[in-house]
Structure 1
Amino acid sequence: MTNGRLKTVNVARPEISRNLLAKRYLQNNEKTWDDVVMRVARHAGRKTGRTREFFEAVYSGKFFPSRMAYMGTPYPFASSCFVFPVDDSLMGIMGTLTDACQVQKYGGGTGYNFSHLRPKGEVISTSGGEASGPVSFMGLYHNAMEVVHRAGKKHAAQMGILNCDHPNIMEFIQCKDKEGAYWTFNISVAVTDRFMEAVKNNRDWDLQFKGKVYKTIKARDLWEYIVQHAWHNGDPGVIFIDTVNRNNCYPEPIEACNPCGEQMLPPYVSCNLGSIDLSRFAMDGQVDWKGLEEVTRTGVRFLDGSVSAAFWPVAKIQERTRKFKNIGLGVMGWADMLILLNIPYDSGDAVELGEKVMKFINDAANDESRRLGGGKRKNTTLTSIAPTGSISLLAGCSSGIEPVFGIVTMKNTYVGSFRGLHWIFEDIAKKRGFYSEEMVERIAKEGSVQNLDVPSDVKRLFKTAMEIDWEWHVKHQAAFQKYTDNAVSKTVNLANSATVEDVDKAYWMAYETGCKSITVYRDGSRQVQVMDAKDVSREKCPNCNAILFMKDGEQVCVTCGYKPDKSGRVSEVKPMADEAAEQTVRRRPMRVNGATYRIETPMGSAFITVNHDSDGNPFEVFVVIGKAGSELTGMAEALGRLVSKFLKLDGRVGGKERVEMLIDQLSGIGGGRSVGFGPNKIRSLPDAVAKALMLHMGMVSYQVEGKDENGSVVQMAMPLPVKVGGNGYGQAPLFLAKKADICPSCGEGTLTFEEGCKKCYSCGYSEC
């Protein structure tokens, strides 16, 4: 090591996770990573005689193709990305849905532009009825895909696009306002140069269909509506469709892309993807350009051979994909490469190198395609930066071109769970003498090294995604896009405190720097009760203070059920039971007293509020944990509601006895993990609720009174270590308890949103 720079060969990399292999990649009688790689290499090399070359590229960790679980099987479904047309006829709509279901069944992601569908309310000449509009047919596709799990275990992934001049554009933009609505879809608005010019100059903008103008609005009003919704919950993204078609390698126009946005495709075309681990080519503080060229050429040959050997469930897709021979060679491990080269992610040097690296790869790929084509470029597209999902976990490198997501990890094995550091950070810390177990504990708790006694140059290198300003996210995306045939899938991460103006600036910067699309995600924004910016006014529920949403044309609270009656008076929330049952529930007083207890759980820190009545008996319980808007948060809210309802019921059982019954039922409920030891052990969130009730009733004592991140007084029940891991599957950033959601595959709280896609750091599950 010299001045913090490391020889890649001297740094211990994470091993291939056996459980990740078993869960996602091993087929039939396969038992080892060697078996998987040989099957994959034979898939792409059987017609070219390059099996050994492909085996060495994948086995060395330098190149990973997507769809390895399918390659070399009886149905080698090797494509990840698909685009379908949606024509303005019932036969066209249903035909596309049928084909899309076939693709989703095998794990492919599908995208559509719904702009060819006539507006809502338009008269249908053949039947005399009225058209229901694009959003309603998106609902049809969504409902169908809810029951068609991708590859039998993944949830569906779709992209819905609508042009910025369609008469139903406002309805489209707000279709995902309600948490969980259209959850199988990502949505994006296709905006033109003419629209962006109209926004800049505050011009009028016609909403039209086939030449008929339905409404004229200010372009800037529409733009602000897009931006405000993106700030609110991440949807919609924006596709700069004229930029896409100015750089279109296909002989026909493009209108849509796949769910994560890295593949802008004509209809009935798919794409095979693969990624180079850039961290393998940082040697002695320099880029190994020769090695990078070799693996680039191998990657092109592999993906080209994979197209020839692949299976498609729809004949027209097979015909057109083999015609265009389009492939998508991309990268991952970019953040790790920068660290090995001693270059901070948020620096001009990093952006400059990113542009240089991608140009080098694109040029080498183009040259290799010409060699394969006898002097003529064989493949319509060659490069694309896709979400690396589980393959980056398999490779043990950072995702795509994203910054590092976490510094501390939990390594799980058959004999127990062990805390570990990012592989490069650990090497630097030990060689430079600042490593300590206390430091690891603090990083595990805080998810950052910025407030620790760590050398300043190391702090600069190890900023995490949320600690890097949004401008650098966009700059990196633009740098790689400049020399990428297709597009770049990337999430522009924003802090929860980011404003609508920040999103506006990010969208404009992406457009002006040549990005083909942009997606932002403001931390904690996908929730019902949003933390508003100062310049946004939202009407709140008088009962529970949640935001009121529009549903079926009237305001309702989706949290407690409140809605104003037509006379303007406050209507009571109707319970699910009958009138007699309603009278058995004690009404909440205007004011109650209570305490909030911070209790560490296997899913992270839970803040459990217990309020009591005038007799001192617990009256209601609120449970807050995890990232706002996540499955975990919803489950916690449901648990709190049920406990509160039970506490409020009148009956022969007294208040204290009622609490004791709850404690008896909730105590000791366990899951896959626990935190703490002896009397301090917490096995699950319900177990933590029982502990909070015991603390409130004085059955056990708490240790200290402290303050949370917002300065509010909370009871610190016990200083327990946060433990996040996962069933022995792999590695999970420990601070994910505060940021992640529950994985639908393994059930761990390590499902994160990166590269425009959700992936699990525990088991490798990916929605892409």
Structure 2
Amino acid sequence: MIRARSEWVIRKRDGRVAPFDDGLIGRAIANAFRAELNLADGQPLDEKMDGEIREITEEVSDAIGEEAATADGTDVERVQDMVEILLMKRGHYRVARRYIVHRAEHAKIRSLQAVDGVEDDAESKPRIHVKLEDGVSVPFDTQRIRRRFEMACKGLDDCEPEKLLEEVMKSVFDGISIAEIYRAMILAARSRIEIDPAYDTVASRLLRMVIANEALGSAPLDADEQDKLYRNQFEHYIIDGIVADRLTSDLRQYDLTKLANALQPERDSLFKYPGIQAVYDRYLLHIDGRRIEMPQYFWMRVCMGLAINEDNKEERAIEFYNLLSSMRFTSATPTLFNSATKHPQLSSCYLSTVSDNLEHIFKCVSDNAKLSKWAGGLGNDWTNIRATNSYIKGTNGRSQGVIPFLKVVNDTAVAVNQGGKRKGAVCSYLETWHLDLEEFLDLRKNTGDDRRRTHDMHTANWIPDLFMKRVQNNEEWTLFSPDEVPDLHDLVGKAFVERYEYYEQLADEGKMDIFRRLPAVELWRKMLTRVFETGHPWITWKDPSNIRSPQDHCGVVHSSNLCTEILLNTSASETAVCNLGSINLWKHVVDGQLDLKMLEDTVRTAMRMLDNVIDINYYPTEEAKNSNQKHRPVGLGLMGFQDALAAMNISYASPEAVEFADRSMEAISYFAILGSSDLAAERGTYSSYSGSKWDRGLLPIDTMDLLESERGVPIDVDRSAQLDWELVRKRIAENGMRNSNCMAIAPTATISTIIGVSQSIEPIYKHLYVKSNLSGEFTHVNTSLVNELKSRGLWDQDMLNDLKYFDGTLTDIPRIPADVKARFLTSFEVDPKWIIECAARRQKWIDMGQSLNLYMCEPSGRKLHDMYMLAWQKGLKTTYYLRTLAATQIEKSTVDVNRYGVQPRWMKNKSASGDVAMNRDSAETQMRTDAPESPVGSPHPVPATDMTNVQACSLDDPDCEACQ
């Protein structure tokens, strides 16, 4: 008897029958169409496609209706076969393929999972096997994966273990290894981070299981058992590391049981996924590729290395460990790499000055190789080298100038790649009056003679204040060869001006062999054009770096370092060294306020750790050892500034952010200087202390007046203070200082990833983006924003799609309230003046510098000029990268772009070639001498002669040292 459609039945694969539902067929077909169109689950299709799906569904029903109407019903496989046939018949071949793949994946899942309620027979047993490390194959066990997903999702209400399990099942194959299973599990969690940041925690927990399997031999799911194994294995780890020559045998001096008991295994949960992945890939010690360190072993190993010379070494190691493992402070990458190893090269930065003779030139190149091998970042000053066509007395010939030697430096950095852990990195500096400067500006161009290009080396301009004044006043500038003006490089301020003008007079009188004169604006224009096109040379300033230096009594600052924050004296006999570490400012904001007591404890302990580096350190060259042990500089910085602002509900683009930058840096400076003075009372002052600004009663805040006096131009920076600085002055007068320099703000690109906060003093890049580094590509979602949107009931799939389409920014999303948009501005939405204002307030408290990136979404010659001129006028010592929009945007293939009626700004700003475009007509107008005066007071803004092809460094560049 033929039954009515309402009585039709479908026969399942296990023999059960169910009512026929053509709605299920339609949904399956619709999902196949969505998969082919890269649309999210549930995302609406257009009317034409909906009609097509209804017609196919009806044809399928008609084709199987006769069988479905019988008592036995029709087989589910028969229905799916018919869907495939009709899809192909209508020409939807690609959709049919998607449907076939979907069927195959689910068939595989069914083969791996026993059906609930079915007797355990041969059909329900898994047909897939897992290959263990010893080659033995065991049956695949779905429950083991399910249990681990459930543990990884524990306490995270919005995470769904079953969906993760289903994703993993699609990747399983016969003979799969344990490592491949874990990789599939982590990828399943990673792919959902954009949906909910809680999946970041899931991925982190899963990777921790991988590390435990390698380092401990197993990853118990029971917390007590896990902690017991963690502590019990610590001594074995130390012994194994020593036997394998990965760790120094000096670690045997410690009471290892005491240190093991001090471990806090639960602090592994503080890592976000990108952080623990970076630690796993690059920091955990390994033997033949197998990690022997757990994350807490890693922290403790670093601290044991730093406390090795302390009298009460266990107590100090535990004190240091509690600081690092709680993520309130982190030492820089070289310290994390090498502490407690056979070669404890713990310093971050090396700065050298190259003398004008062949032997010293190649000695410095050799030194670069030695320093880079052990993960040091390099800054070389090349200003002493005579210019092209200058006379060589020894050979009676003419010089080829500095450029060919820089090519050698470039290739050396490529050849010696920091022990295989990250790319070798060096920055070469040249002062603005050097006759080879114009060729120096072109070193990073992709056109021209490749023998005179350095594609892998950074470059920076070392600019005297006199040049900036001549740009402002539309005056001429003269380029010289250093062999004819040998003292200019060591002069600053008024003394430089007097001598420079004297040499110009000699040139006018025909008493100079070679020189060149050109408008200062023309050279400035070329500088800014190149920094826009290639990201180099960076803009740094000689006079504020020297006039405000505490060590002006015993040398000259000839350059900065690789990342433009270190400002130390260099000479042929001294290679300056700096030891870095950074405070996690976000951790010190409690209940919306900066916790000064916690900050003081953190800074004091951090200063002790940094000072210890100097005596423990392995020095690859004698010049580095002599300099570091003589002056003992350290560079305490910060990271998580943006996160701290978010915790206080403050927008980066606000007076409140500027004030917080001022007060937070004042507190860090206050405690750092006090900490160094107290160390001097305990350990003695550094050997060159006598005659320093410290000795003369001058603190960093006092040197602002010195700079203003030497420059002869007012510096408009608020100089108020809130703390009792008379106490600091008194302490220094009594104790002296242990360290010649105390503070420098580094980029913190890798260590901020480890800690899970925003880089350094940066505004947040975007709220949703993909970042690449040497560990791979990672999706980053602003958890603070997601939590804010959740609290307002605004976080859903549509909001995620909006964030993707508008490239991780909020401005163009109508649903976002105005107050949220104002608070959550991204780096390219924050006017550069706010970044500069914050930096200027910090700079007054810092005895060295800041790695200060500047951002521009819609660059123009006028804007570039105004931005860099403002930075100089505010008394900044250096700037770092000019950032443009990154090449890698968040994946938009799951977004239905047709439903948006407006283009995101990143699309509006693109030229036909795909690059961010500059308004060239406007730029040309701005270059007219009768153009309106710029806000910073210069009547000669700089044009962009051809700046439409943007090559400046992007935030996600895995080859960029700043991004590592």
Name the TM-score class by shorter chain: 0.5 to 0.7
CA–CA distance in structure 2, aligned partners of residues 164 and 741 of structure 1? 21
Distance between the aligned counterparts of 1:230 and 1:440, measured in 2? 35
Are 1:751 and 2:960 an aligned pair?
A: no
What is the one-letter code of the residue matched to 2:278? L
Consecutive unaligned residues in structure 2, runs of 5 or more = 1-268, 486-511, 682-734, 913-949
| Distance in 1 (alpha carbons) for counterparts of 2:366 and 2:958 | 31
Aligned pairs for 1:719-730 within 5 A = none
User: 2:298 matched to 1:26?
Assistant: no
Query: Normalization by structure 2: what TM-score?
Result: 0.53
Match for residue 668 of structure 2 among 361, 364, 368: 361
Paired position in structure 2 for 1:471: 833
User: 2:640 corresponds to which residue?
Assistant: 333
- Residue pairs, 1:488-637, within 5 angstroms: 488-495=850-857, 497-523=858-884, 604=891
Residues 301/713 of structure 1: CA separation in 2 closer, same or farther (3 Å cut) = closer
Q: Deviations over 1:511-556 (max 9, x none)?
A: 1101001235252699xxxxxxxxxxxxxxxxxxxxxxxxxxxxxx
- Give the corresponding residue for 2:301: 39
Give yes or no for the alignment of 1:254 onto 2:557: yes
Q: Does structure 1 residue 183 correspond to structure 2 residue 449?
A: no
Does the 8 A contact of 1:202 with 1:218 survive in 2? yes
Q: Select 1:428's aligned residue among 768, 788, 792.
A: 788
Give CA deviations for 1:673-698 in whole Å, capped at 9, x if unaligned.
Answer: xx779xx9xxxxxxxxxxxxxxxxxx
Q: What is the CA distance between 1:128 and its match in structure 2?
A: 2.5
Closer, same or farther: CA 325–175 of 1 in aligned 2, 3 Å: same
* Separation in structure 1 between the aligned mates of residue 471 and residue 910 of structure 2, nearest angstrom: 43
**Corresponding residue of 2:755:** 395
Alignment of 1:41-56 (within 5 A): 41-48=303-310, 49=313, 50-56=316-322
Counterpart mapping for 1:146-165 below 5 A:
146-165=414-433
In structure 2, relative to structure 1, the CA distance for the partners of 1:144 and 1:367 (3 Å cut) is same
Give, as a single letter, the amino acid of the residue that structure 2 aligns with 1:378: R
Work out the CA distance in 2 between the residues paired with 1:418 and 1:492: 23
In 2, distance between residues paired with 1:227 and 1:26? 41
Partner residue of 1:62?
Answer: 328
Q: CA deviation at 1:246?
A: 0.6
> 1:396 corresponds to which letter in structure 2?
G
CA contact (8 A) 1:498 1:522 kept: no
Residue 381 of structure 1: how far off its partner (Å): 0.6
For residue 65 of structure 1, what is the amino acid of its counterpart?
S
- 1:246-277 CA-to-partner distances (Å, cap 9, x unmatched) read 11122211101111101112220111100011
Are residues 173 and 420 of structure 1, via their aligned partners in 2, closer, same or farther at CA, if it must alter by over 3 Å? Answer: closer
- Counterpart of 1:529? none
CA distance in 2, matches of 1:100, 1:410: 33
Aligned mate of 2:680, from 349, 369, 373? 373
CA contact under 8 A between 1:369 and 1:377: conserved in structure 2?
yes
Report deviation, 1:147.
Answer: 1.6
The answer (yes or no) to whether the contact 1:13–1:423 under 8 Å persists in 2 is: no
- 2:331 matches 1:73: no
Where 1:274 maps in the other structure, the secondary structure is: strand
Q: After the TM superposition, which of the residue ranges 253-262 and 152-161 deviates more from structure 2?
A: 152-161
Residue of 542, 550, 572 corresponding to 1:241: 542
Q: Which amino acid aligns with 2:434?
A: H
Cα deviation, 1:673-729, whole Å, max 9, x if unaligned, reads xx779xx9xxxxxxxxxxxxxxxxxxxxx9999997359999xxxxxxxxxxxxxxx
Q: CA deviation at 1:30?
A: 3.2
* Match 1:94 to one of 354, 362, 366: 362
Q: Secondary structure of the equivalent of 1:116? A: coil
**1:386 is matched with which residue?**
746
Instruction: Indicate the residue corresponding to 2:409 in structure 1.
Output: 141
Q: 1:418–1:196: structure 2 CA closer, same or farther, 3 Å change rule?
A: closer
Amino acid across the alignment from 1:169: L
Distance 2:746 2:301 in 1: 23
Matched position secondary structure for 2:479: strand
Are positions 1:344 and 2:647 aligned together? no
User: Between Structure 1 and Structure 2, how many residues are aligned?
Assistant: 547
* Alignment equivalent of 1:82, drawn from 347, 350, 366: 350
Greater CA drift, 421-430 or 254-263: 421-430
Equivalent residue letter for 1:257: S
In proportion to residue count, which structure has more strand? 1
- Normalised by the length of structure 1, the TM-score is 0.67
Letter of the 1:52 partner, please give it: I
SS of the residue 2:758 aligns to = coil
What letter matches 2:272 in structure 1?
E
Which residues in structure 2 correspond to 1:184-223 (within 5 Å)?
A: 184-209=456-481, 210-211=484-485, 212=512, 214-223=515-524
Q: In the alignment, which of 403, 406, 413 is matched to residue 766 of structure 2?
A: 406
3-state DSSP of counterpart to 1:79: coil
Match of 2:823 among 461, 464, 484: 461
Is contact 2:351-2:576 (8 Å) kept?
yes
For 2:654 and 2:910, the matched residues in 1 are separated by 37
Alignment of 1:688-727 (within 5 A): 709-710=907-908
Q: Distance in 2 between matches of 1:494 and 1:197?
A: 25
Identity of aligned residues (%): 25
SS state at 1:265 partner: coil
Distance 1:136 1:409, change over 3 A: closer
1:15 — aligned with what? Answer: 272
What is the aligned partner in structure 1 of residue 618 from structure 2? 311
Between the aligned partners of 2:397 and 2:446, the Cα distance in structure 1 is: 29
Please say if residues 491 and 520 of structure 1, whose CA atoms lie closer than 8 Å, have aligned partners that are also in contact: yes
In the alignment, is the contact (CA less than 8 A) between 1:705 and 1:713 conserved in 2? no
- Stretches of structure 1 lacking an aligned partner (at least 5 in a row): 1-11, 527-600, 606-674, 681-701, 715-738, 744-748, 760-765
Alpha-carbon separation, structure 2, partners of 1:505 and 1:705: 35
1:424-482 Cα shifts (integer Å, max 9, x gaps): 22222222322223212321332112222122222122111111112122222222222
1:129 paired to 2:397: yes
Cα distance in 2, alignment partners of residues 106 and 493 from structure 1: 32
Q: Which residue of structure 2 lines up, in the alignment, with residue 229 of structure 1?
A: 530
Question: Aligned in 2, Cα 1:409/1:30: closer, same or farther, shift over 3 Å?
Answer: farther
Answer yes or no: is the 8 Å Cα contact 2:741–2:848 preserved in 1. yes
Look up the match of 1:593.
Answer: none
Backbone CA RMSD of aligned residues: 3.2
Closer, same or farther: CA 189–409 of 1 in aligned 2, 3 Å = closer
Matched residue of 1:223: which SS?
helix
Query: Which AA in structure 1 matches 2:517?
Result: T
Q: CA deviation at 1:386?
A: 0.2
Q: Cα 1:742–1:160, aligned 2, differ >3 Å: closer, same or farther?
A: closer
Q: Are the equivalent residues in 1 in contact too, given 2:425–2:961 (CA < 8 A)?
A: no
Is the Cα–Cα contact under 8 Å of residues 30 and 36 in structure 1 kept in the other structure?
Answer: no
Secondary structure of the corresponding residue to residue 672 of structure 2:
helix
How far did residue 372 of structure 1 move? 0.7
Structure with larger RCO (C-alpha < 8 A, sep 6+): 1
Match of 2:800 among 405, 426, 440: 440
